[in-house]
Chains A and B, each alone.
Chain A
Amino acid sequence: MRGELIEEARRQATICNACRYCESYCSVFPALHEQRSLADMDIVQLANLCHNCRGCYYACQYTTPHEFNINLPNALAEVRRDSWEEFAWPTPLARAFHRKAWPSILVIMIGFTLIFGIAKLFGDLSGNDFYQVLSHSLMISIFLPAFVFPFIALSLSLRRYWKSVGGKPIKAKDIIATFRQVATMKDLAAGHGQGCNFEDEDKFSQARRYAHQAIMYGFLLCFASTTSGTILHYVFDIPAPYPLFSIPKLLGVPGGILMVLGCAYMIVLKKRSNPNIGDPGAWNGDLAFIALLGLVAFTGLALWVGANTALTAWLLIIHLATVFALFISAPYSKMAHGFYRLMALIRDAQRID
């Protein structure tokens, strides 16, 4: 961890602890107020609890130009990203994905080249059924490692996080409490439930919370869709493509639409927001990540619409390239944040317990 970032966050948190006005905005403050002095890893835990809702920033009597120079959402955002970079292996890869847009673009191009190459070598680019373009077993041989590798990498990172913040054995009730919070994104609603401050200074609005929920639920629906497809394929021997009234489509189509809308709206909101209250160093990396996530969903929907046409092969290759990029970069990109948040909230549930 970078000491100066933690030191600055600690300086600010000490002022917060003597003030306490923001106590009921989110999960951060009750945890912060519980301790007289904050160790480095307490700061990292607080940083990962913070959802950057900015309620405390706009309420703060000590923000710049006040000489105390408080900007807690920014200080925590920088510690948070630094912690993700440090917990990731290898760290430089995480730094690149978090800070810059080009790694995401590069990894899409690598995915495209890989999948195009394999399709060209082993498949039929003029086919309009996608298993003609790329057989199921070829897809699995690309995507199994592209799924397993990030899964392992991310698990190791989260384990390091958990140990660092002093996590205890997880009980069912910790998970229930956490999922309840995540399901409603309580920490983006403020204590009064009116939402967060983001796109219009101190105005409370649900816009960011709803956009984020659309992305999260959209992603979960798409993930469930893919999983159901896998089960249909292997257990019931029903291969794709599936009709509209099938489980994969009923999950995937709304999921894809939610993700596209959510990502597009999130980018609009982000552009209206003040980058300096978040993590300005991650601005490009974050935008690229949201765009990639939206692109995965958009190309997925396009593939469905354009199925059995002359474009099938290209739509498939582009879609698979984006999916490949999303998965392979997950341990290093903003994708990891959801998992860290989950761990931080579970840890916080243990604190309250």
Chain B
Amino acid sequence: MVDISEFQNIDIAIIGGGNAALCAAMTAAEHGAKVCILESAPKPFRGGNSRHTRNFRCMHQTPLGPLEGQYLADEYFDDLMKVTDGKTDESLARMTIEESEACFSWLRARGVHFQKALSGTLSLSRTNAFFMGGGKSLVNAFYRYSEAAGVRVLYNANVQTLDLDGQSVRSVSFKYENETHVIKPKAVIVAAGGFQSNIEWLEEAWGSGARNFIIRGTKYNRGRVLKNLLDQGVNQTGDPTQCHAIAVDGRAPQFDGGIVTRLDCVPFSVVVNKKAKRFYDEGEDVWPKRYAIWGRLIAEQPDQEAVSIIDSQAYELFLPSVFPPEKAHTIGELADKLGMPKQKLEKTIADFNAACGDLSGFHPTELDGVRTTGLTPAKTNWARPIEKPPFYAYSLKTGITFTYLGLKVDRNAQCSNAIGPIENLWAAGETMAGSILGQGYLAGFGMTIGTVFGRIAGAEAANYAR
């Protein structure tokens, strides 16, 4: 049984319980502050989306732990600019990149272990430092470290409102075991993620189609605190329609499916919507560079659904999936199993097959230029006829990782309103990631933002509380 009165004389209240929150908590505690974490999830689901992560993107000038070679700031920044189409806050992005190198040993000193890039992720072995056991083991290590450093942790604590009075947060009220409690910390750090688990809010931006979205991460990121602060005039950043959305297996659970619901078959397949119609070039680029656009593409299809169809030749070319595909010996039989218009699907596949040309250059792991001719949309790589039974079909849906609409922060992770900075309010992690990224996403950058801004927020808040 937790004694809530212990939370009354706390210096810093941290809202959220993932990587950014914990980095802030550890830093603040190391600076001598009395810190509490208010985590809305129960203990088994603690850690927000961090529990589903696997690495963080790390700049390094020489080989660092499992990271090979070097990954310098300019290359890192260029990679970021490519995926965000230039919609990046350069000053904050460069600062984050510069700070990422020091994060590696900082994390290691707090119990995080690293491992080599996982089999099947070799393209990330130079840029991304993988956590041994994944993000949940990082979260576990941080909770252990935090509690040893005196941080008080309350699970199932649902923060309802922050009482903002002018340029200062006066109090924080939260629900715990059906009772509302009000605490008056000297400083508050919001690290409670995006609002992607709040389907009603998603619907405001995406329309009713949002009900068909899969939320890849925690169901506890409901954006309650974010909304409360925005309603009180705290500065906002980002576009409500911007989020990290990928193509996931249509049979994934609605929440918390995490990494295993991804499907890597698209480049070797023909993707059709419910009406058995193709809608985009499946072979535009290698999958790690394209999976994040497919979430949006599918969201635009009828009922936000699509199906990826391969034949037996392609079955071994991608990482195995959790859910077994539909299997049939003819395209017609497959259409029946999928409940799709049979003749239309047969025609789509036949048209595709007829548009395929010379296959001699087919190469599954590089852009092979094996393309269709006279087909719209074209398939510009790995275009090989779907002809050798059995045929397989994987259903696809839009999977949301996180949203970008959030709190605008400055280089000190501090929040502000129209008048100026709010003297005792900081934010870190996904809830402020929109301050750096306008759109798009670079693998492992979310954890880098969370770590860097968590540390800054923790230090700033501790200095303020002193």
Binding site for B on A (CB under 8 A): 14-15, 17-25, 30, 33, 36-37, 55-56, 58-68, 190-192, 194, 202-203
CB pair A62 B258 closer than 8 Å:
yes
Contacts known (A17-B320, A59-B140); A23 close to B135, Cβ less than 8 A: no
Q: In the complex, which residues 341-386 of chain B have their Cβ closer than 8 Å to any Cβ of chain A? A: none
Which of B45, B132, B259 interacts with A19 by CB under 8 Å? B259
Which chain A residue has the least Cβ–Cβ distance from B131? A21
B144 near A203 with CB under 8 A, answer: yes
Which residues of the partner chain B approach A63 to less than 8 Å between Cβ atoms? 44
Q: Which residues of B contact A64 (CB under 8 A)?
A: 44
Contact partner of B260 among A18, A24, A203, CB < 8 A?
A: A18
A59 touches B133 (CB 8 A): yes
Q: Tell me, yes or no, whether B136 is within 8 Å of chain A by CB.
A: yes
Asked whether B52 is an interface residue with its Cβ less than 8 Å from the other chain, the reply is yes
- Out of A20, A23, A59, A68, name the residue touching B136 (CB < 8 Å): A59
9 further A-B contacts with Cβ under 8 Å, apart from A17-B320, A68-B253, are: A18-B262, A18-B319, A18-B320, A23-B115, A55-B133, A59-B136, A59-B140, A61-B136, A62-B258
Residues of A within 8 A of B321 (CB): 18
- How far, in angstroms, from A122 to B18 measured CA to CA in the complex? 73
Q: Mark B40-64, 1 if CB is under 8 A from A, else 0.
A: 0000110000011010000000000
Q: Determine if B339 is an interface residue (Cβ-Cβ < 8 Å).
A: no
Complex CA distance for A335 and B134, rounded to whole angstroms: 34
- Residue from B45, B116, B133, B319 in contact with A21 in the complex, judged by beta carbons closer than 8 Å: B133
Residues of B within 8 A of A (CB): 44-45, 51-52, 54, 113, 115-116, 118-121, 131-137, 140-141, 144, 253, 256, 258-260, 262, 316, 319-322
What are 11 inter-chain pairs, A to B, with CB distance below 8 A?
Answer: A18-B259, A18-B260, A19-B260, A21-B118, A21-B133, A21-B135, A59-B133, A66-B44, A66-B45, A194-B113, A202-B140
Known: A33-B119, A202-B140. A192 touches B132 (CB 8 A): yes
Report the separation of the CA atoms of residues A268 and B44 in the bound assembly, to the nearest whole angstrom. Answer: 26
Q: Is the CB of A66 within 8 A of B320?
A: no
Interface pair A61/B134, CB less than 8 Å apart = yes
Residue on A with the closest CB to B141?
A202
Q: Is A58's CB under 8 angstroms from B260's CB?
A: no
Take A24-B132, A61-B135 as given contacts and tell me if A15 and B118 are in contact as well, using a CB distance cutoff of 8 Å.
no
Q: Which residues of B contact A25 (CB under 8 A)?
A: 132-133
Bound Cα distance from A62 to B116, whole angstroms: 22
Which residues on A sit within 8 Å (CB–CB) of B135? 21, 61
Residues in chain B near residue A202, CB distance under 8 A:
137, 140-141, 144
Per CB-CB distance, the 8 closest pairs between chain A and chain B, nearest first, are: A59-B133, A21-B134, A59-B137, A18-B260, A24-B115, A192-B113, A202-B140, A20-B118
Collect the chain A residues with CB atoms within 8 Å of residue B262's CB. Answer: 18
Contact B320 A22 (CB under 8 A): no
Q: Is the interface of A mostly helix, strand, loop or mixed?
A: loop
Cβ contact within 8 Å between A15 and B260: yes
Nearest A residue to B264 by beta-carbon distance? A18
- CB-CB under 8 A from B256, the residues of chain A are 61, 66-67
Chain B residues lying within 8 Å of A58, measured Cβ to Cβ, are 133, 136-137, 140
Q: Which residues of A contact B120 (CB under 8 A)?
A: 20, 33
CA distance A24 to B133 in the complex (A): 8
CB B360 to nearest CB in A, in angstroms, measures: 26
Chain B residues lying within 8 Å of A65, measured Cβ to Cβ, are 44-45
Q: How far is the CB of B261 from chain A (nearest CB, A)?
A: 8
Docked CA distance A30–B118 (Å):
10
Which residues of chain B have C-beta atoms less than 8 A from A60's C-beta? 136
A313 CB, nearest partner CB in chain B, Å: 54
Which of A22, A37, A192, A203 sits near B134, CB closer than 8 Å?
A: A22
Evaluate contact between B253 and A67: CB separation under 8 angstroms.
yes
A64 to B316, CA, bound (A): 31
Residue of A nearest to B143 (CB): A202
Closest A residue by C-beta to B118: A20
CA distance A51 to B321 in the complex (A): 26
Which residue of chain B is the closest to A18 with respect to CB atoms?
B260
Q: Tell me how far the C-beta of B104 lies from the nearest C-beta in chain A, rounded to whole angstroms.
A: 15
The minimal Cβ–Cβ distance linking A70 to chain B, given in whole angstroms, is 10
Residues of chain A lying within 8 A (CB to CB) of residue B316: 36
Chain A residues with CB below 8 A from B115, complex form: 23-24, 191
Contact A23 B119 (CB under 8 A): yes
**Measured CA separation A342–B134 after assembly (Å):** 29
Taking a contact as CB atoms under 8 Å apart, the answer to whether B134 and A19 are in contact is yes
The smallest C-beta distance from B249 to any residue of chain A, in angstroms, reads 9
B133–A14 CB distance below 8 A: no
- B113 — which chain A residues lie within 8 A by C-beta? 190-192, 194
| CB-defined contacts of A15 to chain B, threshold 8 Å | 260, 322
Contacting pair B320 A21 (CB below 8 A): no
Known: A67-B253, A191-B115, A192-B132. A21 touches B140 (CB 8 A): no
Q: Are A21 and B144 in contact (CB under 8 A)?
A: no
Residue of A23, A55, A67, A203 with highest tally of chain B CB at under 10 A = A23
Q: Contacts of B44 on A, CB cut-off 8 Å?
A: 63-66
Chain B residues near A36: list those with CB within 8 A. 316, 320
Cα distance A236–B131 in the bound complex, in angstroms: 59
> From residue B252, how far is it (CB to closest CB) to chain A in Å?
10
Closest to A202 in B: B140
Nearest chain A CB to B314's CB is how many angstroms away? 13
Q: How far is the CB of B115 from chain A (nearest CB, A)?
A: 4
Nearest chain A CB to B450 CB, angstrom units? 17
Q: Which residues of B contact A18 (CB under 8 A)?
A: 259-260, 262, 319-322
On whether the beta carbons of A21 and B54 are closer than 8 Å, the reply is yes
Provide the bound-state CA to CA distance between A22 and B321, in Å.
17
CA distance A23 to B131 in the complex (A): 10
Determine which of B51, B52, B132 lies in contact with A191 in the assembled complex, contact meaning CB atoms within 8 Å: B132
Residues of A within 8 A of B51 (CB): 61
Using Cβ atoms and an 8 Å threshold, which residues of chain B touch A61?
Answer: 51-52, 134-136, 256, 258
Most chain B C-beta atoms within 10 Å of own C-beta, residue among A15, A61, A62: A61
In the bound assembly, the distance between CA atoms of A20 and B115 in angstroms comes to: 11
Residues of chain A within 8 A of B319, CB atoms compared: 18
A56 touches B320 (CB 8 A): no
Q: Bound complex: CA of A275 vs CA of B118, how far in Å?
A: 30
The answer for the CA separation of A18 and B51 in the assembled complex, in Å, is 16
Closest to B115 in A: A24
Q: Give the CA-CA distance A20 to B122 in the complex, in Å.
A: 13
A17: chain B residues at CB < 8 Å are 320
Bound Cα distance A60, B133 (Å) = 7
> Smallest distance from the beta carbon of A340 to chain B beta carbons, Å?
26
- Cα-based distance from A55 to B132 in the complex (angstroms): 10
Question: Nearest B residue to A66 by beta-carbon distance?
Answer: B256
Specify the chain A residue showing the minimal Cβ separation from B134.
A21
Does A22 lie within 8 Å of B322, measured CB to CB? no
Residues of chain A with a CB closer than 8 A to B134's CB: 19, 21-22, 59, 61
Taking the closest CB of chain A, its distance from the CB of B16, in whole angstroms, is: 17
Most chain B CB neighbours (cut-off 10 Å) among A55, A56, A62: A62
Query: Which chain B residue lies CB-closest to A193?
Result: B113
Q: Which of B116, B135, B141, B260 is packed against the most chain A CB atoms within 10 Å? A: B260
B132 contacts which chain A residues (CB < 8 A)? Answer: 22, 24-25, 59, 190-192
Nearest opposing residue in chain B for A16, CB measure:
B260
